[in-house]
Chain A
Amino acid sequence: MASSKKYWKSGAELDPNDSIVERLKQNEFVEEIPIDGFLGDKDTLDSTSTNRRDFLKFIGYSTAAASLAACEGPVVKTIPYVVQPERIIPGIANYYATTIADGFDFASILVKTREGRPIKIENNTYAKVNGAGKARVQASVLSLYDSTRLQGPSANGDAVEWSQFDTEVRAKLMAAKDSGRQIALLTQTYASPSTERLIADFKAAYGNVNHVIYDAVAEDAALNAFEAKYGERALADYDFENAALIVSFGADILGDWQGGGYDIGYAKGRIPKNGKMSRHIQFESNLTNSGAKADKRVPLSPSQLKLALAKLYGKLNNVPVAGELPSGAEEVLDSVAGQIRKTGSRAVVVTGLQDENAQTLVLALNEMLGSKVFDPQAPKYIRQGNAKAVTQLVADMKAGKVGALLMDGVNPMYTLPDPTDFSEGINKVGLSLIFALNYNETVAVSQYVASASHFLESWGDAQFKKGFYSLMQPTIKELFDTRQFQSSLLRWAGIDKTYYEYVKETWNTSILAGSDWDKALQDGVFVPAEMPIPEDAAPKEKPGAPAAEIAEAETVSTTIPIATAVNSLAGADPEGMELTLYTKQGLGDGQQASNPWLQEFPDPITRVSWGNYVTVSKVDADRLNLKNEHVSNGALNGSYVKLTVNGTTLEGVPVIIQPGQAKGSVGMALGYGRLEGMKSEMRTGVNAYPLFQDFSNIQSVEIEKMSGMHEFACVQLQNTMVGRGDDIIKETSLEIFNTKDKDHWNAVPKVDYNHGEIEVRDKNADIWNSFDTEIGHHFNLSIDLNACTGCGACVIACHAENNVPVVGKEEVRRFRDMHWLRVDRYYSSADTFKQEIEDLQNLPAMEPYTRIETASYENPEVAFQPVMCQHCNHAPCETVCPVAATSHGRQGQNQMVYNRCVGTRYCQNNCPYKVRRFNWFRYNGNDEFDYNMNNDLGRMVLNPDVVVRSRGVMEKCSMCIQLTQKTILDAKREGRKIEDGEFHTACSSACDKGAMVFGDINDSSSEILKKKNDDRMFHLLENVGTKPNVMYQVMVRNTTEA
């Protein structure tokens, strides 16, 4: 049976003697509730004479005082607009299509505004490319309301007016021009046609202008390889939806690989249709989301990855490549080569190794395969950085050749591996000027600091991919005295136009080709009717040609000869441990480090929030005597290490022992450890950029253990399913899915009834009367475990929609995180499913599952499962509430009434899914929780349709009842029926992968009804008999070899 597979969440669970895990199975919290803590410090408490009687007196007095105080109601003022803008009706949301293009994240989005305030980011469903909100994009609206933003321009540390700023800067620019020294623009990647034109105009005005594009997390090798081959500095695009076989060498295609945005197509190709789905084979060092979703994952260290790639190329071309791979890997490669041959043009090979040889080889391989997935003709422009130019610029600065340095969207003092050269150089520059949102490391060393506008306050445009345009429009007037870089350049270049006019002009003259500007602006995206790429522009191998017959691909003269590439890849010689630097789904490159939503967002794989760490394999950890342990309160602690790369040392980096981490390799996330201008709570983690040397994500590293233990805020062990391991995740293989009966791979749990067995879905299995849900709407939510990539966009969308508070590192450590929606990550044993079943069958009946699980520390299978309130039709929480604060609605929602709740937490104890969250404190307007809800600016992001909960009440997912109610009301007002697809929740609309589908099962035409009747449908812990309104679709892995 499929459900015999065992899942585990943390290494501690594998230890049969771990008392904490045992305790967590029985108790929600490991420790007793520290009541003394509420009353103050324990020592002080003991030393005072406050006894129980005094305490009661205080309680009595405060109740009386509160009642008396309540007699006098506060006077509430209401201030209407003097002149109400025509488009704004108080209480009604407006949506604007715009674009985020901050140099790291590029996406076409919709912005929901209320009374003129942007409060939420939604996906732009018109966009065919990057119309997605990742967690960071979803959270970017909060960065607009960051209380640490720069509020006005300053010159040499003194606040000045823009007029004075302009005068001085222009004078200095003219001086630089006259001196003949270069004027350098050091910027992020804009991928913006208008900005490109503007910079050309600026060059025309000042002459010696050098525009250097700098991506903090460089894709330099991929760009160089592509440029050499195709003559354009861009990145090949991949259409994973049409892929039948994806072979990845260290490319986190579901993460930020090459700018991200590939997860949508990938997820669509992963849902079994007509018995078919794509097969994904991942070779990688760190365990990434992509590795987690792969059908087959082979952990290899970076040097082994290079060798494996070279060998794969050799095998496909019948060229022997020397070198040793770990046992098993060679066979996998043989099998992969065979599969590639079989799949032909629907196979694709990708790599995330920042190595020009590897990138060149991959381009050649895909050309050779004639891969339909691979698209070099309409490449992506969302990474354009040039590491060589950046290095040259720093050298020029040091040599005093730079007269003026204008920076936008970059923070080199933080992101450069060695900022000392830069800081030395910037002192020799006549004019150093930076546009920044927040005070940061580079602001600290710049003469002129321009307060930049947030993208939600700016005009702009972007071309993500050749022929796919997107427009950026302001959704709010500048909150502070800020100005965007482009407006300033226009002024300094002497062009008497606003940037809006300039963008419009660019579009009307060179992009729209007669199409309507207003329409393009309303849609936010624009694709010219005729795609500018002729189909047969470049020679492509005939699709379907057997790859083996293809001789070594012809190469463009400037590219690295393939043979050289193969040899140098095969000859990669590892020294010591190898480090792979990566970016997290949460903080990314670190631009939004002061965003509390992102800081508290748990990493999809390690489930650690508030900080980064180095991931090591179990073998290496044992060798180095590194430890992860759960302390008495259940929280995770880890050893500290010292990392040294080429003489650069990072001290005090905490360690996470990561199942699936390749032996001999370690991983570490960039983007943490920002200090300048950050609130103390947000100064988390260690800055890994000093190790990002030569702009390469792969480094040789020495590791040394340090003393002390780090306290992690890890939600890994929390909310285990009370020891009920079965029926949580169901998975099967494509083969079984196609050939066997549904009862085999998705059996409904049975219960005893009348001396026989009946399905738990049977009416007789109920001891409760069912609710009548036949009439009206009945909402269900379906989550497809195949399509879910664990990205966590839903988590942040839920935060934004439902005013979920941020509780901070200490509270997360105490298991008091408030996420209404969590994405659980489960590890499971064994490489193959079959093997595991055999293993299980061969074990004695009562054997703890520890034995087979331990082996999987090396390379576990991973499953993601988003869990929110399951809205049970027979909800255990409802029956135990003494004050009926949680009740059932006819539409299927389990309703939580905050004002009725007295905080007994019985419901939380009785919930089998552990989805209820208790407000241990008042998280708004409380200096102890100095996050966005503690200042007026940060509170502007709150959704006015959802209450901010007070202390002492329980809260949980409401299935976004405010959104379903709104849809119903709109229909009532317009006197019409509701069409399928109108209902949505924050998570379902944030999920661009289609993993979450929401709707009304009483609507016979609805998609959700089809999902409910799908063979793959199952409920979480169905044997408990709660009859949830949230359903899951069985995960199918395409494990068929060759």
Chain B
Amino acid sequence: MKKVPYRHPISKFLGACLVVFLLFSTALFSQDEAATQGDPAKGKQLFNQNCAACHSLDRKMTGPMLANIESKVIDAGKDRQWIYDWVRNSAGLIKSGDDYANKIFNEFNKVPMTPFPTLSDEDIDNILAYTAAPAATPKPAAAAGGAAQSAAPASSGINNTVVLGALVLIFGLLVIMLVLVNKTLRRIAEANGVVLEKERAEKRLPIWKAFVQNQFLVFVTVVFLLLAGAYYAFGWMMQIGIDQGYQPIQPIHYSHKIHAGDNKIDCKFCHSSARVSKTSGVPSLNVCMNCHKFISEYKGNPEGPSPEDLANGYTNEFYTGEIQKLYDAVGWDQENGSYTGKTKPVEWVRIHNLPDFVYFNHSQHVSVAGVECQTCHGPVEEMEVMYQYAPLTMGWCINCHKDTGVKMEGNEYYEKIHAELSKKYGVEKLTIAQMGGLECGKCHY
């Protein structure tokens, strides 16, 4: 079900050319600009560590956009010292009655900027250098790398076809040769007067006739075929309705890998109802907006998207576009930083579908038993696109209930029953099955 992007070799070639061209041109360009004081590379690092939560280069966020900020400040009649003062203690600057400081403070809803007294002049210079530099530098390099990477499997694909084609050709030639050799041999035999033993062959029973006449063999074969057929039919039937590996395309490309993996957000941070309710709950969009009010853009890892991501089209722009879909759904006006009230609820495709006649409660497993989400949902933190990891069959449930111990430590509810039951079964630790977790009515009502 995975989507395999199809790319024409020619377009790939053209793409590669384009990339090489771009790489060349931008490299030249960036060398031009690097002349100002301060090191943009160090600046970028500092920027990402300290500033990126509230500032962006090309867009207003909580704070103003910072691209070419120094020139703007200079335009306003201030100097670099003013920037140093502001960064280290903006509140002081505002208090001193500085007109420009107050103007900015008011413009951004009187949200004071976090002071950064630890940043040295040099650090700030570096950041300024970074803000003065054009933003697009890292992309072409990564793109080029990606292109190079993606070219490799393409060429191996061609090789495979060629090899296969060659093999078919050779095989075909062999067959023709054999036929020709056979013909030639017959001709030679005829010419030499050798008589082929056709008559004798005709008298002998053909093997299939012999087989048909041997009733025992027929019987055994039929039984065998029937059994085998039943076995495979049963196997095939049993997988009906089991959607292990089901990986539908969702209306918004939400990457668990980025959220749970890269950013290490706890599952229950968003799926909070798993703690208390039977459903884990698809998070409502206001939960997304707790963070995405401020994160409107995907920046990826500093080295840029990995080659395989790029192969799938998962570029930073792609992700940013998906965040935009969230904004559209929730009705968030990014320009003004406010909700428009026009919402479009997102219709996610449900992946884990239990039949109606099964009662499953997340909180029982998550809060009471302390089962990790990954036990049933698999390595979600590695899933770029979510899929169904477990078969969700009854056998799968039962097996786990048979093997897993009851987590009763510190739970007053279990004290008495556990003491009595473990005595009865003569075990130290009860499994869920021994607690009654295999009773039909516990899940079917």
Q: What is the interface of chain A, defined by CB distance below 8 A to chain B?
A: 67, 70-71, 73, 75-84, 89-92, 772, 774-776, 887, 889-891, 893, 895-900, 945-948, 958, 961-962, 965, 968-969, 971-973, 975-978
Contacts and interface: CB of A to CB of B under 8 A. Distances in A.
Contacts of B420: 774-776
The 8 closest A-B pairs by CB, nearest first: A895-B441, A91-B277, A84-B284, A81-B284, A76-B350, A80-B282, A91-B278, A78-B350
A971 B417 CA distance: 13
Contacts of A77: 347-350
- The secondary-structure label for the interface of chain B is loop
A91 B441 contact: no
B267 to A, nearest CB: 16
Contacts of A776: 417, 420-421, 436
Contacts of B211: none
A82 B424 contact: no
Interface string B373-385: 0000000000000
Choose among B277, B358, B368 the residue with the greatest number of A CB atoms under 10 Å from its CB: B368
Contact of A973 (B279, B359, B363, B415): B363
Given A89-B276, A887-B441, A897-B441, A977 B413 contact: yes
Interface residues of B, number: 57
A91 B281 contact: yes
Contacts of B349: 75-78
Given A80-B285, A961-B445, A962-B445, A90 B361 contact: no
B444 interface: yes
- The secondary-structure label for the interface of chain A is loop
Nearest to A953: B357
A1006 to B, nearest CB: 14
Contacts of A897: 440-441, 444
B441 A80 contact: no
B405 interface: no
B367 interface: yes
B309 to A, nearest CB: 27
Nearest to A91: B277
Contacts of B439: 887, 889-890, 895
A978 B417 CA distance: 12
A507 B424 CA distance: 60
Contacts of A973: 276, 363-364, 367-368
Interface string B100-130: 0000000000000000000000000000000
Given A70-B241, A91-B281, A975-B413, A889 B436 contact: yes
Contacts of B10: none
Contacts of A81: 284-286, 345
A774 B357 CA distance: 29
B264 interface: no
A67 B444 contact: no
A115 to B, nearest CB: 10
Contacts of A84: 284, 286-287
A975 B350 CA distance: 32
Nearest to B419: A775
Contacts of B281: 80, 89-91
B414 A972 contact: yes
Nearest to A948: B356
A81 B353 CA distance: 19
Contact of A90 (B279, B413, B421): B279
Contacts of B276: 89, 92, 973
Contacts of B417: 775-776
Contacts of A89: 273, 276-277, 281
Choose among A81, A82, A900, A946 the residue with the greatest number of B CB atoms under 10 Å from its CB: A82
Contacts of A71: 240
A776 B416 CA distance: 8
Nearest to A891: B436
Given A969-B361, A975-B410, A898 B436 contact: no
B329 interface: yes
B235 to A, nearest CB: 13
Contact of A976 (B279, B285, B359, B413): B413
17 contacts: A67-B240, A80-B348, A82-B331, A83-B330, A84-B284, A84-B287, A89-B273, A91-B277, A774-B420, A775-B417, A889-B441, A890-B436, A893-B441, A969-B364, A969-B368, A971-B413, A975-B412
B258 interface: no
Contacts of A774: 420
A92 B444 CA distance: 19
A961 B439 CA distance: 12
A954 to B, nearest CB: 13
B350 A90 contact: no
Nearest to A777: B417
Contact of B413 (A772, A948, A978): A978
B243 interface: yes
A481 B412 CA distance: 51
Given A82-B285, A775-B420, A947 B273 contact: no
Given A79-B345, A81-B284, A895-B445, 10 more contacts: A75-B349, A78-B350, A79-B346, A82-B345, A775-B420, A889-B440, A895-B444, A961-B441, A968-B413, A973-B368
Contact of A82 (B248, B278, B330): B330
B284 A965 contact: no
Contacts of A896: 441
Contacts of B346: 79-80
A778 to B, nearest CB: 11
B237 interface: yes
B411 interface: yes
B343 interface: yes
Contacts of B237: 67
B321 to A, nearest CB: 20
A947 B240 contact: no
Contacts of B367: 973
A75 B249 CA distance: 11
Nearest to A946: B445
Choose among B353, B416, B440, B442 the residue with the greatest number of A CB atoms under 10 Å from its CB: B440
A949 to B, nearest CB: 9
A77 B348 CA distance: 6
B355 interface: yes
B165 interface: no
A82 B289 CA distance: 10
A947 to B, nearest CB: 5
A82 B421 contact: no
Nearest to A968: B413
A93 B411 CA distance: 24
A663 B345 CA distance: 67
Choose among B357, B361, B368, B421 the residue with the greatest number of A CB atoms under 10 Å from its CB: B357
A958 B359 CA distance: 14
B283 interface: yes
A972 B277 contact: no
Contacts of B415: 977
B287 to A, nearest CB: 7
Given A71-B240, A75-B248, A898 B444 contact: yes
Nearest to A772: B424
B424 to A, nearest CB: 7
Given A71-B240, A947-B445, A972 B411 contact: yes
A80 B329 CA distance: 11
Contacts of A891: 436
A14 B125 CA distance: 107
A750 to B, nearest CB: 33
A369 B294 CA distance: 79
Contacts of B343: 82-83
Nearest to B356: A947
Nearest to A977: B412
Contacts of B331: 82
Interface string B419-440: 0110010000000000010011
Interface in B330-344: 330-331, 343
A83 B350 contact: no
Nearest to A884: B440
B445 A73 contact: no
